[in-house]
């Protein structure tokens, strides 16, 4: 059996209110557009999650709500406070408890960039991959029957995109 991971960094967030906590920052207009573009891109390629593991920060939740309208069906949304600024080991621990066959994880840098680099056997050919800018999305497959079996270097890259490549 194969498991598929869609790993997305939140879209561009707003820094307009200097008194707002980091956890409560919303998306800016560019981020809202990027999330919608990512949703269209995912749908056009058939990359549709049946479960979404999402940090509970506002910008990750808004990224998901921007992506979701383009996708068929209604995946299970699991807000995971542990994913807020999580490092790669925490992200792997959360993913190992996933229940879907195609799981989308939405998180933050710097942890998501390191997680992406460590989870795949071979990085995609992209100058942006190791930087993992806002909205960056990796799609990779695992030859595993259970998410609990996942380990570093097991993912086979299917696709990688950053929103500015979609806006062209």
CATH number at residue 131: 3.40.50.1240
Each residue's pLDDT, cut to its tens digit, for the chain (168 residues) gives 799 999 999 999 988 888 888 898 899 999 999 999 999 999 999 999 999 999 999 999 999 999 999 999 888 899 999 999 999 999 999 999 999 999 999 999 999 999 999 999 999 999 999 999 999 999 999 999 999 999 999 999 999 999 999 875
Using the 8-state DSSP alphabet, how is residue 127 labeled? T
Q: Report whether the peptide linkage leading into residue 163 is cis, meaning its omega lies within 30 degrees of zero.
A: no
Give me the pLDDT at residue 168, please.
52
Give me the pLDDT at residue 84, please.
97
Distances (CA, A) of 107 to 23, 44, 90, 143, 144: 12, 23, 11, 23, 23
What range defines the domain where residue 42 resides? 2-166
Nearest to 61 by CA among 41, 76, 77, 50: 77
Q: How far apart are CA 123 and CA 160, in angstroms?
A: 10
Looking at the 3D structure of the chain, how many domains does it have? Answer: 1
């Amino acid at each position: 059996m194969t498991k598929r991971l869609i790993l997305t960094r939140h879209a561009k967030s707003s820094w307009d209110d200097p008194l707002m906590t980091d956890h409560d920052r919303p998306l800016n207009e560019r981020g809202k557009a990027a999330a919608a573009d990512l949703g269209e891109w995912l749908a056009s390629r058939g990359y549709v999650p049946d479960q979404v593991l999402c940090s509970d920060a506002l910008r990750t939740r808004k990224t998901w709500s921007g992506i979701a309208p383009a996708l068929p069906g209604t995946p299970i949304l699991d807000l995971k406070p542990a994913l807020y600024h999580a490092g790669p080991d925490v992200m792997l621990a959360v993913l190992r408890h996933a229940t879907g066959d195609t799981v989308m994880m939405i998180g933050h840098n710097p942890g998501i960039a390191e997680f992406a680099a460590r989870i795949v056997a071979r990085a995609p050919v992209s100058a942006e991959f190791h930087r993992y800018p806002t909205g960056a999305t990796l799609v990779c497959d695992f030859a595993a029957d259970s998410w609990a079996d996942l380990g570093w270097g097991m993912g086979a890259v299917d696709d990688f995109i950053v929103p500015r490549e979609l806006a062209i």
